[in-house]
Chains A and B, each alone.
Chain A
Amino acid sequence: KAGVTQTPRYLIKTRGQQVTLSCSPISGHRSVSWYQQTPGQGLQFLFEYFSETQRNKGNFPGRFSGRQFSNSRSEMNVSTLELGDSALYLCASSWTGEQYNEQFFGPGTRLTVL
Chain B
Amino acid sequence: DAKTTQPNSMESNEEEPVHLPCNHSTISGTDYIHWYRQLPSQGPEYVIHGLTSNVNNRMASLAIAEDRKSSTLILHRATLRDAAVYYCILGSTSGTYKYIFGTGTRLKVLA
Contacts and interface: CB of A to CB of B under 8 A. Distances in A.
Contacts, number: 59
Interface of A is mostly: strand
B100 A105 contact: no
Contact of A105 (B31, B43, B98): B43
Nearest to B100: A45
A97 B93 CA distance: 11
Residue among A35, A43, A45, A98 with the highest chain B CB neighbour number at 10 A: A43
23 contacts: A33-B99, A35-B101, A42-B104, A43-B44, A43-B87, A44-B101, A45-B98, A48-B97, A55-B97, A56-B98, A92-B43, A92-B44, A98-B97, A99-B31, A99-B32, A99-B91, A102-B49, A103-B36, A103-B46, A104-B46, A105-B36, A105-B44, A107-B43
Contacts of B49: 100, 102
A56 B51 CA distance: 22
Interface string B74-93: 00000000000001000111
Contacts of B36: 103, 105
Residue among A45, A58, A108 with the highest chain B CB neighbour number at 10 A: A45
Given A99-B91, A104-B45, 20 more contacts: A4-B43, A42-B101, A42-B103, A43-B44, A43-B101, A45-B98, A45-B101, A56-B96, A56-B97, A56-B98, A92-B43, A98-B97, A99-B32, A99-B34, A99-B93, A102-B49, A103-B36, A103-B44, A103-B46, A107-B43
B97 A97 contact: yes
